[in-house]
Structure 1
Amino acid sequence: MTSQSDEFPPPQKRPRILPWSGDGNNRCPKNSLCNSRWPKNNLCSNKCPKDNLCYLDSDQQVTDTPSTIMAFRGAASMVSTTPDRDGTVFAMYPSPGSESPVFGHIEAMMEAEDSPRPNKISAPYEVPQFPIEQIEDKLKLHRQLSAMVERSNVKYEASETAVDDVDVKVSDIDESDYTPRYQRVYISGEETSSYLLDNLITNVPVEDISKSSKLLIEALRLREKYMAWAVQGFPTVTSRFLREAGTEDPSGPVRPSPALCSDPKSLEDHPIHPPLKEGCPFDVDMPEDNGYCFQMVDGLFQIYSSEEDLKQNKPKNYHFPDFTRYIQDHNLMCALIANGPVKSFCYRRLQYLTSKYQLHVLLNEMRELAAQKAVPHRDFYNIRKVDTHIHAASCMNQKHLLRFIKKAVKNHPDEVVCHSQTHGSMTLSQVFASMNLTAYDLSVDMLDVHADRNTFHRFDKFNAKYNPVGESRLREVFLKTDNYLNGKYFGHIIKEVMSDLEESKYQNAELRLSIYGKSQDEWDKLAQWAVQHKVHNENVRWLIQVPRLFDVYKSNNIMESFGALIDNLFRPLFEATINPASHPEIHAFLQYVIGFDSVDDESKPENLALDKDTPTPQFWTDTENPPYAYYLYYMYANMCTLNQLRLDRGLNTLVLRPHCGEAGSIQHLVTGFLLSENISHGLLLRKVPVLQFLYYLAQIGIAMSPLSNNSLFLNYHRNPLPEYLARGLLVSLSSDDPLQFHFTKEPLMEEYSIATQVWKLSQTDMCELARNSVLMSGFEHEIKQFWIGPNYTRDGVAGNDIKRTNVPNIRVAYRHETLLDELTNIFRHPSDKEGN
């Protein structure tokens, strides 16, 4: 016969709960898990193997313990005690049979447990006194506080916080120490390093994978060479892979990388805000004439050390690709993007990047948000952001322009503003009288400068919107730098926009000013306008846009050949570089010019293909406009020589950032890949997977303007920006033309607001876009060090300062590791194939 003790287990002994003695000398009774003393803050100083809580056996007799984990009726229940001000112990005590804690004094609860309760229900649950969400929040806060106290007792531990939180020199920390903890997505298996896995992933035959990789590597080599010749940027990560693959350094001067030529900078030397410059911004050093000479040969400027070298035709060895080589490389790239296996390979890699990002967001979104919340004082509103694509003639909104025109008519009605062949000199009031208008009649609707549904795929109607009230005369008076008043009104309204940017503090812009190339004094007039009216602000830098309008000039007999346009565009720059005293205003103005832009309607048909028989610029006398690739090559080639000359003289260099891929032929994107550091728009990349993948590998900046595209070429919901961002392309938001597309005085914030609402972007996405805009902008390296961190040029997390960018290290690490994976996947195939 079995005894009762053998048949039925003895009843479990309930732990006895005693008030906390408060002397801080009690030890955790579970020595195998935690052998440290209980501190007076009720938190265990040792990290338990579970979730920072010690789990005690149900038969463990507990005495004098401030926090206890009990097993009651087969379920773990927690008692967390805290002494009140009067010494009374307050406990969060889960009731038997329930996971919902009851809050109250511990003595009262013990009495309640011992005394029978009437009408006690028999079900193993009870209605909680507090909402479950509130209880979970309290438990989560308890765990977070435990972790914070534990970390405070450790001198250093790699974490997601900024580097300056640790009392360690930045140079003493290895880059691997910056790696944050987050959930990564890996593809593993026995065949991970073989061609079989790639065949399964990409659905491309093994031999095609090797060929595709070699072609992609060749395309990256081409871009690296073209960037080096023009002294433009190229990502250091991709460059390292090319070096390891046996590619020699490209000939010509390579832009010195701040990440490689200097040690890590200290955070103390770079506060959040850069120091203000004192004095006139156009008071710059004037280098002496170095005695160089130059001349244009076949549309390309050549530099000579002296007059003697000029006579003997011995130009300096400045590197740039000749036109024949450029045509060969351009044709090679066009053949590459049409290669079937390469298209399949790149398409599937892009799909993989999209899916991987979606998994990353599902796994780490809350971690990224928690990292942002842990940063004091920093959020999306007070991180630096740059409007990387905005035109100066339309940088104000329509209400701003209306108020400015009304104020000018009211305050300066008798000022002579223009000269007409029929009316002679005309005052501002006479100009409005000739249109049968008064200042009172003007309204936003009367100005008619805003784009509407009628401008969709009608670039001609969009250009007409630049004329207020449909009158080109008002555009000449208020929106031109070269007019009767030497751009007085335009300078004033630009300075008002600059004042708004300065007031916002964290918004910056890269405004485009036009040089048409119709005469050689255009540069002098533009520079005099900027210097005379002091049109400068530390929140603004300039780009020079060159409209592709040679066919219009030729039809109006303004110039004879395309070579005249190139000569008018670059000759003043070479003169100001060789002898700054010959053009002092141009020399001063160029200190704040960051590059060139090429603008016009890309949807115009191009009937001419480039080949070796294409005429040189001095022989291009046809009324037909040269192709896009022809325009950009001669801008790029002359910019190569100019940049290498300015680099020798210790002056700032310029970059090429054209409008590219908004409409028209996809060959424009090939031209942009070879010649330009960044592009604007890039909508057609969604149709060319090979180029899109190459733009990702080369991290080419793309300034996108969804509201502008929505009115001209592509509906907002079809815009590929969120897709580009998910895949890891270097994209940023820009406003393009606030006068035509925006309503508020903060058009860039308007872009972010609408994009966030329509595409449901997270706070991390918005901050990543803002950081991208600073990275791809033309602001000086020293300024970027203040804005996004002194070590921003370093790869991965080591280059991120979350206290300035508000971008979590998790997101930066994911982007960097994913790029490394894709580059590794490509670069290992040729070597593996040769080894096999």
Structure 2
Amino acid sequence: MSQKHLLTFIQKTYKMDADRVVLEKGGQKMTLQQVFRNLNMDPYDLSVDSLDVHAGRHTFHRFDKFNAKYNPVGASELREIFLKTDNCINGEYFAQIIKEVAHDLEESKYQYAEPRLSIYGSSPDEWESLAKWFIEHQVYSPNMKWMIQVPRIYDIFKSKKLVPNFARMLENIFFPLFEATLDPQKHKELHIFLKYVSGFDSVDDESKHSDHMFSFRSPKPEQWTTDDNPPYSYYIFYMYANIMVLNNLRKELGLSTFQFRPHCGEAGSITHLVSAFLTADNISHGLNLKQSPVLQYLYYLAQVPIAMSPLSNNSLFLEYSKNPLRDFLHKGLCVSLSTDDPMQFHYTKEPLMEEYAIAAQLWKLSTCDVCEIARNSVLQSGLCHQVKHFLGLNYLKDGHEGNDIRRTNVAQIRMAYRHETLCNELSFIVDAVKSEAMTPLQE
């Protein structure tokens, strides 16, 4: 939701539910009125500025300050009341505001979203709780699919003695999914919820440095008992391994499968992009690809989808003018524009339109460029085939044969050029491998 939407919702809720018990703090139950009184504020005096949930110059290279921005007016109490699924009111307000956002999407007809919900891995009950929230409040929309994001915060859980090792965290995340897959009748709510989940994301501050280099010598998850957080590649590999096994099982049983689409390459080591190249279906951001022409070429050859969010990056890690999206697009990488926390990085009720409008104006993108980005966006999403048929019935075919210009507005010559160039590059590699194999060994 936008900042203005959240502000209006808080004020509207206060008007209707001021005397409702919404928070339990230190064993004491508090009404909405008491919460605001404790914070020494009147919700009707709040403005978008005083709500203070917008990331700016002070969040640049400061992920901690970015995380703090999720607290409206700097108050964690308001975050728990309005932006959590598991609280004193069973996430009712959060569900209501999501349904309002979904209603706007449905009104616009051709806009779809894949919001994130978090599973932390501190307890195996998280999934059942989340599924119950989803079913109870009927948080369903034909214009929404859900992504599950898993924050890389094992070290916090270990320090609080919530998990004895990394294996327990993995079990808490994936074991309930295997149970619901094998016995849907016993886990009906989770089974239904998983039908609306399109994939998994791995999130946290990528710029955090780890002294450990993941290799075959690395301790197994059950042996990772130190307080240190495993490196990025360790998280990615074990998430990929579990998702792959789960997908194979669900496919055999005729159930939906999940994509693996981690945040990757926004900051930190270039090895993150190597890990994701080997394991991920899509990645988000991918800024550091511009530092490695070889990796860039591999991502191009494999056409790994990259969802980029220049406005988000502009507030966190990279100035807008230095963002490589236009270069990636012109080179033929499969890039799309995506919002990332509209509440923090966008000002209007149309955050995706902001991304497209600013990119088109700043980089002087042609209509064909913008439409190609939009087409890529649909292709790399977790939406079902019926929805993707908006691109044309043959959208799965390569080159111009898979492009319906009447629906995508992408020129056929552009699609033909993209396909021909990619085929030529792949043939160069095949020829090189053949000639290498035929060359006699020199003594």
Would the TM-score normalized by the shorter structure come out above 0.5?
Answer: yes
- Give 1:417's aligned residue: 22
SS at 2:43 equivalent: coil
Which one-letter code corresponds to 1:525 in the other structure? S
Instruction: Give me the TM-score of the superposition, normalised by structure 2.
Output: 0.98
SS at match of 1:601: coil
CA distance in 2, matches of 1:710, 1:801: 34
387, 398, 418: which one pairs with 1:795? 398
Instruction: Report the counterpart of residue 39 of structure 2 in structure 1.
Output: 435
**Partner residue of 2:256 out of 645, 652, 660:** 652
1:677, CA displacement in angstroms? Answer: 0.4
Verify the 8 A CA contact 1:547 1:600 in the aligned structure 2.
Answer: yes
Matches of 1:612 and 1:507 in 2, distance apart?
44
Residue 192 of structure 2 corresponds to: 588
Confirm whether residue 821 of structure 1 aligns to residue 399 of structure 2.
no
**Which amino acid is the alignment partner of residue 618 of structure 1?**
E
Identity of aligned residues (%): 61
Letter in 2 for 1:397: S
Q: Distance in 1 between matches of 2:13 and 2:36?
A: 12
1:710 alignment partner in structure 2: 314
Deviation at 1:443, TM superposition (A): 1.1
- For residues 76-130 of structure 1, the C-alpha deviation after alignment (integer angstroms, 9 at most, x for no partner) is xxxxxxxxxxxxxxxxxxxxxxxxxxxxxxxxxxxxxxxxxxxxxxxxxxxxxxx
Q: Offset of 1:835 from its aligned partner?
A: 4.8
Displacement of 1:639 in angstroms is 1.1
Q: Of 69, 93, 98, which residue of structure 2 is paired with 1:494?
A: 98
Q: In the aligned structure 1, how far is the partner of 2:217 from the partner of 2:369?
A: 49
Alpha-carbon distance, 1:783 to partner = 2.2
1:505 maps to 109
Match in the other structure for 2:304: 700
Q: Distance in 2 between matches of 1:765 and 1:402?
A: 36
Q: Which runs of 4+ in 1 moved over 3 A?
A: 832-836
Whether 1:558 aligns to 2:158 is no
Map of 1:615-764 to 2, 5 A cutoff?
A: 615-764=219-368
- Superposed, 1:405-554 pairs within 5 Å as 405-421=10-26, 424-554=28-158
| Cα distance, 1:634 vs structure 2 | 1.1
- Output one character per residue of 1:353-395: Cα deviation in whole Å (capped at 9) or x when no partner: xxxxxxxxxxxxxxxxxxxxxxxxxxxxxxxxxxxxxxxxxxx
Asked whether the 8 Å contact 1:410–1:439 carries over to 2, the reply is no
Superposition map of 1:125-144 within 5 A: none
Superposed CA deviations along residues 505-551 of structure 1, whole A, max 9, x for unmatched, are 11111111000011111001111111111111111101100000011
User: Which whole-Å CA distance do the structure 1 matches of 2:241 and 2:436 have between them?
Assistant: 37
Kindly provide the amino acid, as one letter, of the partner of residue 8 in structure 2: R
Alpha-carbon distance in 1 for matches of 2:409, 2:218 = 51
Instruction: Give deviations 1:652-678, integer Å, cap 9, x for gaps.
Output: 111110000000000000000000000
User: Equivalents in 1 of 2:421, 2:88: separation in Å?
Assistant: 56
Q: Give the SS at the match of 2:336.
A: strand
Partner Cα separation in structure 2 for residue 572 and residue 773 of structure 1? 31
Superposed displacement of residue 500, structure 1: 1.0
Is residue 407 of structure 2 the alignment partner of residue 766 of structure 1? no
Structure 2 distance, partners of 1:662, 1:468, is 25
Cα distance in 2 between the residues matched to 1:574 and 1:833: 45
Q: Give the whole-Å Cα distance in 1 for the aligned partners of 2:386 and 2:4.
A: 36
Q: Give the secondary-structure state (helix, strand or coil) at the position aligned to 1:673.
A: helix
1:613 CA displacement: 3.0
For 2:54 and 2:87, the matched residues in 1 are separated by 24
For residues 741-796 of structure 1, give each alpha carbon's deviation from its aligned partner in whole angstroms, at most 9, with x where no partner exists.
101111000100000000000000000000000011111123212x1011111111
CA deviation digits over 1:701-753, x for unaligned, max 9? 00000000001100000000000000000000011011111011110001000
RMSD: 1.0
Equivalenced residues, count = 439
Counterpart for residue 64 of structure 1: none
| 1:474 partner letter | L
1:19-75: per-residue Cα shift (whole Å, max 9, x none)? xxxxxxxxxxxxxxxxxxxxxxxxxxxxxxxxxxxxxxxxxxxxxxxxxxxxxxxxx
Structure 2 counterpart of 1:646, one-letter code: R
Alpha-carbon distance in structure 2 between the residues aligned to 1:782 and 1:399: 33
Deviation at 1:582, TM superposition (A): 1.3
Report SS of the residue matched to 1:580: coil
Alignment map for 1:235-634 (pairs within 5 Å): 396-421=1-26, 424-634=28-238
Deviation at 1:834, TM superposition (A): 4.3
The residue aligned with 2:414 is 811
Structure 1 residue 448 displacement after superposition: 0.5
- Once the 2 structures are TM-superposed, how far is the Cα of residue 833 of structure 1 from its aligned partner? 4.3
5+ residue gaps, structure 1, are 1-395
- Tell me, in whole angstroms, the C-alpha distance in 1 between the residues paired with 2:52 and 2:328: 34
| TM-score normalised per structure 1 | 0.52
User: Which protein, 1 or 2, shows the higher relative CO under an 8 Å CA cutoff with sep ≥ 6?
Assistant: 1
**Structure with bigger gyration radius:** 1
